[in-house]
Structure 1
């Protein structure tokens, strides 16, 4: 739960809201630290990672949920001690579920608790056993550590919710020898009917233009050399180094990177060398030693925009990969440039941002929406 623990990091020239929670990192010894969770789906666990990468950090024990007796642990600049009969209620699956909920909450979208209560509403409107089973499954999808808070009732906790999704004659997990009575069930139904009246009186505001933050988890587009076509390249096709020939003003370039560096210089020999280079690394090297075109620094972002539009217009299969990223933040690695790459949150991530712009244009085209032209 977020509470009042709100922080921010700067990315793409904007502030990304986040929150934090305590955790142990296992790097040889165990270290008590904070996990920072951000609305774009990135988690800082001694380095920014995507949700998928965080899951791997949990699986390998880098983010530790198992605390062995006698293990050495420290909190930086505070204390050093050893675990003695440690008890923890977190598992990798439970912590991952809590993190997913936190990202949903930071984005103002329904988390597992909201989805459960929505399923309960469906059941109360149509009280079939099928709908009850769906509500029960949604209840169990709430992280176990959060179920007590599902109703926001500090007196009765989630008791009425458990009874409702269990039904008369069913067995509660905490009381496996005492079936739910009809009277208990009727009380739970009355509780939810009263709750519906309270909720109906609350004002609600939904942004008319949709959410301000992405609904999909962030996607990290890693830099790797060399990139070659494969049967299942995944999001690698979104990299500028990915082999996708471009026809620009009658000239064919092997990749966006070849075209970018060739167009960056007015020197005919350097431009030809960059265009014909065997690799994107060689293309950059061929152009880097030549003078840039006058005004290039101011024009380069517009040039890159045009190159990306050309790439995804000329390669529909690659465009589908870009569109399938939905509205995810695209975090682009570039070891050489803080203008084009994210660089661990220090860079401007312009390539990632321009990919998102081109993606929006492709999505508009799919929807039959033509952007106005002034």
Structure 2
């Protein structure tokens, strides 16, 4: 299965992430190509009606309702795509393999180590304390990886899973599933340990490595700002509706919101009414009645960018508040436009994203880093 095949369902107003793969569902003598959808909370949609769990999936596999063996001559179909008969049909995996893959997928959806991850944790424990008890945990972890996936556990096309096989085998015992009937020796164990120590060194370096131009992800926790009439003291100055007058093209506006909506109309009378509105709530009500400039949707992002830059350039104290957010991802939460904000699980969050851009520009100037073109 693969996390690139994303799915989700709504459960009591909460989004539950999932992923999916194809399976055959058997109904009598006929097979139907269906989607097996696995969710992070352990729920599984097998395409047979309703949700089940790992135990229910095991029962469906045992009964053959979810099929991993295909009968030659039987009819199969893909809904609204095709219908055909099986001839010399073979399945890529058996029921045990499929069940193990689904269990691993649930772990990955929850950012928990899957069977391979747990095996590698056991290897690291053995490297730290090379007791026989810890080696047996490596063996247990190795055997818990679905058999058809063990060869990929190390991501090594040359050695494949050989070092794991060796470490999982007691000295003097036959290395399992090896065509040469090779006996594990102390020297082979030492080579496997050296392999894993080298792998661990590279793993730690990869985790701790910071790219030359800075970290991949923010080091500061995400920050949410709320737009509307209610100011939140902790981040109120970051709101576009915060009372911070800005002057652009010789005209002063009480807030960024006033300026944005006033400039969105080409009618001078509507422009002045919006600019003079008592508060941002009235601004939006008036703007909904006013005519928009032709082509406004394509230009609005550029206008908002200029206005937000003007606000923080003209109010140094507010610029310091923005800079104090570090490299946090900024989310703008409101029930308004999903283009500008990030309500719920949808939204482009352009206000939050522009705040991050303006913050970066302010930081560049503060540190003396020249911006191209300035």
Q: Which residue of 2 aligns with 1:31?
A: 32
Task: Please report the TM-score for the alignment, with normalisation by the length of structure 2.
Answer: 0.51
Q: Deviations over 1:297-331 (max 9, x none)?
A: xxxxxxxxxxxxxxxxxxxxxxxxxxxxxxxxxxx
For residue 87 of structure 1, report the CA deviation from its aligned partner: 2.2
For residue 98 of structure 1, report the CA deviation from its aligned partner: 1.0
Q: Choose from 145, 149, 155 the match for 1:146.
A: 149
Structure 2 distance, partners of 1:177, 1:113, is 25
Pairing 1:219-234 to 2, within 5 Å after superposition: none
The secondary structure found in structure 2 opposite 1:21 is strand
Q: Which residue of 1 aligns with 2:63?
A: 60
Mark the runs of 5 or more structure 1 residues left unpaired by the alignment: 210-374
Q: Which runs of 4+ in 1 moved over 4 A?
A: none
For residue 182 of structure 1, report the CA deviation from its aligned partner: 4.5
Q: Which residue of 2 aligns with 1:177?
A: 181
Structure 2 distance, partners of 1:84, 1:200, is 50
Structure 2 distance, partners of 1:10, 1:110, is 25
Structure 1 distance, partners of 2:5, 2:34, is 15
For residue 13 of structure 1, report the CA deviation from its aligned partner: 1.2
The secondary structure found in structure 1 opposite 2:70 is coil
Mark the runs of 5 or more structure 2 residues left unpaired by the alignment: 209-216, 222-374
Q: Which residue of 2 aligns with 1:86?
A: 89
Q: Deviations over 1:141-179 (max 9, x none)?
A: 111122122112233221221122124433221226222
Structure 1 distance, partners of 2:136, 2:167, is 11
Pairing 1:35-184 to 2, within 5 Å after superposition: 35-46=36-47, 47=49, 48-172=51-175, 173-175=177-179, 177-184=181-188
Name the structure, 1 or 2, with higher relative contact order (CA <8 Å, separation 6+): 1
Q: Choose from 175, 186, 193 the match for 2:197.
A: 193
For residue 102 of structure 1, report the CA deviation from its aligned partner: 0.3
Q: Which residue of 2 aligns with 1:7?
A: 7
Structure 2 distance, partners of 1:200, 1:145, is 28
Structure 2 distance, partners of 1:65, 1:2, is 19
Q: Which residue of 2 aligns with 1:355?
A: none
Q: Which residue of 2 aligns with 1:334?
A: none
The secondary structure found in structure 2 opposite 1:102 is helix
Judged with a 3 Å threshold, the aligned counterparts in structure 2 of structure 1 residues 184 and 202 are, in CA distance, closer, same or farther, namely: same
For residue 26 of structure 1, report the CA deviation from its aligned partner: 0.4
Q: Which residue of 1 aligns with 2:288?
A: none
> Higher Cα Rg: structure 1 or 2?
2
Structure 1 distance, partners of 2:84, 2:95, is 24
Structure 1 distance, partners of 2:200, 2:182, is 28
Structure 1 distance, partners of 2:158, 2:142, is 19
For residue 58 of structure 1, report the CA deviation from its aligned partner: 1.4
For residue 64 of structure 1, report the CA deviation from its aligned partner: 0.6
Structure 1 distance, partners of 2:115, 2:64, is 25
Pairing 1:231-270 to 2, within 5 Å after superposition: none
Q: Which residue of 1 aligns with 2:310?
A: none
Q: Deviations over 1:61-89 (max 9, x none)?
A: 11111212222211112222222222224
Task: Please report the TM-score for the alignment, with normalisation by the length of structure 1.
Answer: 0.51
Structure 2 distance, partners of 1:59, 1:155, is 37
**What number of residue pairs does the alignment pair up?**
208
Q: Deviations over 1:225-268 (max 9, x none)?
A: xxxxxxxxxxxxxxxxxxxxxxxxxxxxxxxxxxxxxxxxxxxx
Q: Deviations over 1:109-128 (max 9, x none)?
A: 11111111111122222223
For residue 38 of structure 1, report the CA deviation from its aligned partner: 0.7
Structure 2 distance, partners of 1:67, 1:75, is 15
